[in-house]
Amino acid sequence: MLLKKYSLLTLFVIAMQLSCHKTKSQPAVVKQYNWQEFVMGADLSYVNEIEDAGAVYKMDGKATDPFVIFKTIGTNTIRVRLWHNPVWKKATSNGKMYSDLYDVEKTIRRAKEQGMAVSLDLHYSDTWADPGNQTTPAAWTGLSLAILKDSVYNYTLNVLNYLKLKNLVPEMIQVGNENNSGILWPAGQVLNNDYQNFADLLKSGIKAVRDFSTTSTIKPQIILHVAQIQNAEYWMDQLISKGVTDFDIMGLSHYYKWSTVNDMNEIGKKITLFKTKYQKKIMIVETAFPWTSQNADTYNNILYTADPSIGIYPVSKEGQQQYLKELTKQLFNNGGSGIIYWEPAWITSPMRDAWGTGSAWENAAYFDFNGNLLTAESFMKQTY
């Protein structure tokens, strides 16, 4: 009887040792981040249009709803752009508009059905707004600054109230997109280092969001957005000096192609500096990296491998993943609040825009040229 007890005990100990050894050799359990803890985001503004053009997204070889794919791989936030009245899209999309309020409504609904948060990107233009383009909507052309301020306020408030009626209020909202040189040109353009008109227009948009929040359960966090880390500190200092202080998140675009701050340790130091100096959340709201030097269509790629500033990361699936992991690590370890990849689902398709057919970004998407999911997404479930 004693021998039997001893044998059972021995077997138990051996089993436990084997179990512990097996556990140690297995990879760490992946983590699913909550957006309020750390934003793992994707801008899916093009998806509705790409699907309407006939493209199919696949995971494990099977056609799958792209919003389901992004939720599955760890995305907790979907970003979507809104243009004021993009009638120019009708000429490229069989008479249909995209990135208007109704298209945005569809995108937000799809995101929220998957339990993901939303960042709404107001361009305050009928078309692309970026450091070199901030064209005033056609409906607002020629208005005085005073009337433009009122237009920004009412437009922002009306958009949010419409989404509230649909139970689609975004958790975050950008008051402008890549506003390095102002907004609503020429009235809000920064000329001769004069930020006053730009600041006044931003304040109108900010006030609309805050006034809306007084009657909304979801109170959108406000993002101000500047392109490239090297421009951020001076830009923010100028706005703050003009009284723009009521916002929640300093949003940055970071692309190696246009950045002079590409060393990852230096990026981490900048994130710490911004967070300490401004006492706001810091997020990279746009970034990307190519996984191939090839082109799937005749639409020239924006991120091409001849760029000299591509750095130490190889143009490959592994290089894309390495870049994203290291950038996210620097954000996470230095107090940043999130990262959003710009248009990871802009795959090649018969979709047309004003410059080409297909995609200028398919070599930087999360999918191969046949719509199959790649491996870059694994960075979103790493433990940092």
Catalytic residue positions, numbered: 178, 286
Cβ-count burial 275-289 (b if 16+ within 10 Å, e if not):
beebebbbbbbbbbb
299 Cβ neighbours under 8 A, 6+ residues apart: 348, 355, 356, 357, 358, 359, 360
For the chain, what is the largest distance between any 2 Cα atoms, rounded to a whole number of angstroms? 98
The rounded Cα 343 to chain-centroid distance in angstroms is 8
Query: How far is Cα 44 from Cα 51, in angstroms, rounded to an integer?
Result: 12
User: Residue 232 and residue 180: Cα distance in Å, rounded?
Assistant: 9
Q: Which two tokens stand for residue 1?
A: 């009887």
Those residues with Cβ within 8 angstroms of residue 47's Cβ, 6 or more apart along the chain or in another chain: 66, 67, 107, 345
Contact between 245 and 270 under an 8 Å Cβ cutoff? The reply is: no
Helices 229-241, 264-278: axis angle to 10 degrees equals 10
Name the strand (E) or helix (H) holding 132. none
CA distance 170 to 177: 16
DSSP states of 324-335: HHHHHHHHHHTT
* Spatial CB neighbours of 267, under 8 Å, sequence gap ≥ 6: 229, 254, 261, 327, 330
Q: Exposed, middle or buried by CB within 10 Å (0-12, 13-18, 19+), for 132?
A: exposed
